[in-house]
Structure 1
Amino acid sequence: MNTEKNLGFATRQIHAGKIANAAGALCAPIYQTSTFAFETVEQGGARFAGQEEGYIYSRLGNPSMAQVELKLAALENGEAALATASGMGAISSALWSSVEAGDEILASDTLYGCTFALLNHGMTKFGVDVKFIDMVDVENLKKCLSPKTKVVYFETPCNPTLKVLDIQALANAAHAYNPEIRVIVDNTFASPYLQRPLELGADVVVHSATKYINGHGDVIAGFVISTKEFIDKCRMFGLKDMTGAVMSPFNAFLIARGLKTLDIRMERHCANAHKIAEFLHDHPAVAKVYYPGLEDFEGYEVAKKQMKDFGGMMSIELKADRAATAAALNKLQLCTIAVSLGDAETLVEHPASMTHSTYTADELKMAGISEGLVRISVGLEDPEDVIADFKSVLDTLV
């Protein structure tokens, strides 16, 4: 790891985490096994006791997962990483490993719908207090910190409004109040190529690797990246005992393949998004474009400070009502109406009725998610073709 940290990002995404195999295969084999043989009873006992390194059972570790864990740790500049079966598996494992009954989580008021549901409807069932705060203003966080606060949790950019939160300022505020508070950042929208929260003072990073990490729309997966001590706790408690959200060896293989092109893909996602955001910004049917790369967007300055580029995600507010908006979007020919993001294809969805349907009407309003908001994951197509598809639809609303 020490030598890997001196290598460039593209070199690390290809070479970090390589594990030697008996055949000398360039691409790591898929270790499609549930359990591992011990040479002796004593060896098995030593591994269970933690006295000897080695594999025991694929719920606890597997060479296929180990290679991508090492790779994500290298890319996020963390000590260690944990692979999980989904982004929610990563988030759940990290949170359940951080709190117990009577503790408090302070969370951003704008989150992915299932994360919001876990916090608002799940954690609270087990005696964990959760407060949702607009963290754009760091003073709002400072006012809510208390001796019960164990976790500060947020995304940036936020899903789906692209609200940008200042990672360093929030982490500094939480740690100044209590250094033991765990600051957890969902970095899914940015990927480690564009933003690395651990370098800005966060304690833990979580990803839905389903998205940009894999990048090809054929995997459900997640990661937690942090110190080795916390990752060991997540592995042996949050994953092993609480969630059981174990990544499959085949999905680990696909993620290792997808990661080899992460930087190239992200550069194209960003370049396409810039062009499409500028077109949408100037179209008369569009009331507002939510994209951190536009200079008149509220989070532009903070995004410019903490991100390498502005990402491939955006949302738009159309001037038409919900019914007219839906009718227009149904006419898209190239862009696909689908949830998820970070794929090669441009995906369009309606958060209020899809990804964020776990919010009540009042909660949507509090989070700034309107009924007319449309989320766009810009793909890798020729941007002119995506623009032409949107233009043909939006022109009908003018």
Structure 2
Amino acid sequence: MQQPARARSPAARSAWLLVLPLFLFSSAIFVAPIALMLARSVQDPELSQAFPRTVVALARWDGRHLPPTQAIGTFIIELRAARGTERLSFAANRLNAEISGFRSVLLRTARNLPAEPTDDSADALTRIDARWGEPSTWAAMRRAGGPLTDAFLLAALDLRRGDDGAIARVAEERAVFVAVLVRTLGVSALVTLLCLLLGYPVAYVLASLPAKFANPLLMLVLIPFWTSVLVRTTAWVVLLQRDGMVNTLLRSLGVTDQPLIMIYNRTGVVIAMVHVLLPLMVLPLYSVMKGIGHAPMRAAMSLGARPLEAFLRVYLPQSAAGIGAGCLLVFISALGYYVTPELIGGGGDQMISYFIAFYTNRTTNWGLAGALSLILLVATGLLYLAYARLSRSAGSAA
């Protein structure tokens, strides 16, 4: 028994060596950037890099009144030293996430400070902006002191820490992300359901036809994979617009007198996403149905079952694995969709991926972008674990 194991060992090492370059490439190009992005959701280095001694001084402050004169003086010295540097701009962006308008306050204060230290006290700051005389301003700086924080994760759930450190909901007008997450899950679930309703009959027909007919039809299902998502989405913009082909056809058939609004709203988003993601539902279903064959249905009907009863009690349960795999593929893909809602949806139809891109590219708030990405990743992981558990339970029952 030992000889075969020793003989397999060089072959196993050779296989691992063949896979190693691909593993290293995937880690460097795919895994590492994602890990770094997710790590930004709990990192908070901007303020400590710009004002390291101020952060230490504020950590010892009780928070009830203005910080001690020494702490304020330290901040003024460091603010004067950071004036005109990149780290001041990063710190201003971070503080703006704590209090709206904080960026302009900090940059204006830095510009208006005297070049020479004449008065390093709270009065020197309040003469520039009265908000420096409020304890809440300094409390916001203490919360942003880092180097680790839960502020971004809380913000992604429409929560925040108050001046006393307690977690509370943000103001109603600033509560955005929970509604966006619910919208993302709702749209993804609707798209998955429609793909299942459309894809199941298609897969059933493909699996029932002889190979000489099924193979060309299967190629038609695969053709969309060879076309860019951007191209397919843009085509729907042309088709669904007010004077597009769909509205023209409906009016020519007398279905409607006025053009239907099918673009820049939820309807257009769902139609385009179903079209793009439908092959991901058809292929797993086809693969499972091809293995089922016609024998179970024929056997059930030969024992007296009606066709519908045979389908519901025999064929449908056997195709459950394909249903689960297809739904999982479509739902997870829909969760991260960006291009289609961006081009076809309105302001109230953007999904969580839009906000991740917004905070990454436009406001460079990578912490919040990382927190939203982490929440999306956790939701996807929980969905996968639930599917795996249900699959094991179904397998055990069978």
TM normalised by structure 1 equals 0.23
Greater per-residue strand proportion: 1
Greater per-residue helix proportion: 2
TM normalised by structure 2 equals 0.23
